[in-house]
Homo-oligomer: A and B are copies of this chain.
Amino acid sequence: MNKRLFSIGLALLLGAGYGVTAFAQAKPEVLVKQRVAVMILHGKYWGPLSGMNQGKVPYNAEIVARNAGFLDALSQMPWDGFQPSTKDQKTNALPAIYENPAKFKEAQDRYRGAIGKLVAASKGGDEGAFKAAAGEVGKSCGGCHESFREKL
């Protein structure tokens, strides 16, 4: 499934099919709203896992599995919203996104890879495996947030 979704995502990035037409028509302010929505929901579902990883929240295997599944979907959602048409919108996204798309794509792939490992680790219910995977996710967030987002 993931591989299939990845292929679809790639097809969209490369400009094939309906999706691109739809994105091309989406207003810049709508694209930004959708990107922000994805980040808000990352907060909802990554927040507790980050807390568990840091020992601030008791480990709960069921919440980990559920949230990892949601993050698997969410982690695929923001990217097609980073269109040059959104450059003039009020956002924390830096112009580097459009100046260095290959590096931006690398950071996305690293993050998606880390989420894939989190999903796999969450299935066994093992806290150690979860923490190892969650640590990688945490680091991979920085791939975009340090180089492609305004310092908050």
Contact = CB atoms under 8 A, between A and B. Distances in A.
A66 B5 contact: yes
B8 A77 contact: no
A66 B8 CA distance: 8
Number of copies: 2
Nearest to A4: B65
B48 A40 contact: no
Interface stretch (A16-24, A106-114, A137-145): A16-24
Contacts of A70: 73, 76-77
Q: Give the interface SS of chain A, mostly helix, strand, loop or mixed.
A: helix
A70 B60 CA distance: 24
Nearest 9 A/B pairs, CB to CB? A37-B37, A73-B73, A37-B40, A18-B60, A8-B66, A8-B62, A34-B44, A37-B41, A70-B73
Interface of A: 1, 4-5, 8-9, 11, 17-19, 22, 33-34, 36-38, 40-41, 43-44, 47-48, 57-58, 60, 62-63, 65-66, 69-70, 72-74, 76-77
